Amino acid sequence: MKEKYAKSNPKTSMGFVEKIKKVILSPSEFFDAIKAEEGISQAFIYYAVLSLIFDILFGLSYIFIPVALTPSMPFKGLGVMWIIISYIAGLIFVFINAGITHIFTKILGGKGDYSATFKSLVYASTPTLLLGWIPLIGVIFSIYTLYLTIKGISSLHSITMLRAFIAVLVIPSIIAIILGILFGAFVSSLATISLPGPTGSFLQILRPFV
C-alpha cells in the first residue's frame, strides 16, 4: 500500500531548491508535477522568500548606483524604506495579478481554479526573482518568466499555448493601451482648462508624459 501511494504521488514532495531547478530547466515536467500541489500556501511561501531576496538585491543596487547614472529614479532617497515598501506591495500585487489573469484565462477556456493561475504566475516568476535585479541583462530573465507563465497557464489550465499567450499578454496589453489613451485624453483635456492652484500646475506637469 505504501509503495503504491508513493508511486501515485511521486511529485508532491519537491523541495524549495528542487523547485527552482525544475521550473527553470524542465518547465514542462515541473508544471505537470505541480498540479498535485494543493492550495496556494506553498506557492505563496516560495514567492515570499524569493521576492524578499529580489527586493533586497534590487534595492541595494538601486540605492548604490551613482545618481548621475540614474537621474530618473524618483524614490532613490527612500533607501531601505523603498525595499520594505516594494516587498509589501509585491506580496499584495501577486494576488491581484493572479486574479486578473485568472479572469482572462477562464474567458479563453481555462479549466483550472484560482490556485492554478496563482501557482503558474508565482513559479514562473523564478528567473526574474533570482536574477532579474541585475542591471541591463535582467530583462532577459523577465522574458523567460513570460514564457514560463504562458507555459504554466497552458499546462495547469489545459489550454493551448496560444490561448495562454492571449490571456497573459495580448488582452492585458490591449486593455493597458486603451486605458493609457483614455487617461492621456482626460489629462490633456483638463490641462487645457485654466485651473487655479496646485491642481492646475500638477496637470500641466503630467501633460508631457501622456
Each residue of 164-176: pLDDT tens digit? 999 999 999 999 9
Buried b / exposed e over 110-127, threshold 16 CB at 10 Å, is bebebbbbbbbbbbbbbb
The residue ranges of every structural domain in the chain are 11-160
> Does residue 134 sit in helix, strand or coil?
coil
pTM: 0.77
CA distance 206 to 20: 42
Instruction: Evaluate if residue 94 carries a pLDDT over 50.
Output: yes
Are residues 64 and 133 in contact, defined by beta-carbon separation less than 8 angstroms?
no
DSSP characters over 155-187? HHHT--HHHHHIIIIIHHHHHHHHHHHHHHHHH
pLDDT at residue number 133:
82
Q: What are the cell numbers at 146?
A: 513570460
- The pLDDT tens digits of the residues spanning 24-58 come to 999 999 999 999 999 999 999 999 999 999 988 88
In angstroms, rounded to a whole number, what is the distance separating the alpha carbons of residues 146 and 90? 17
Nearest to 130 by CA among 140, 117, 120: 140
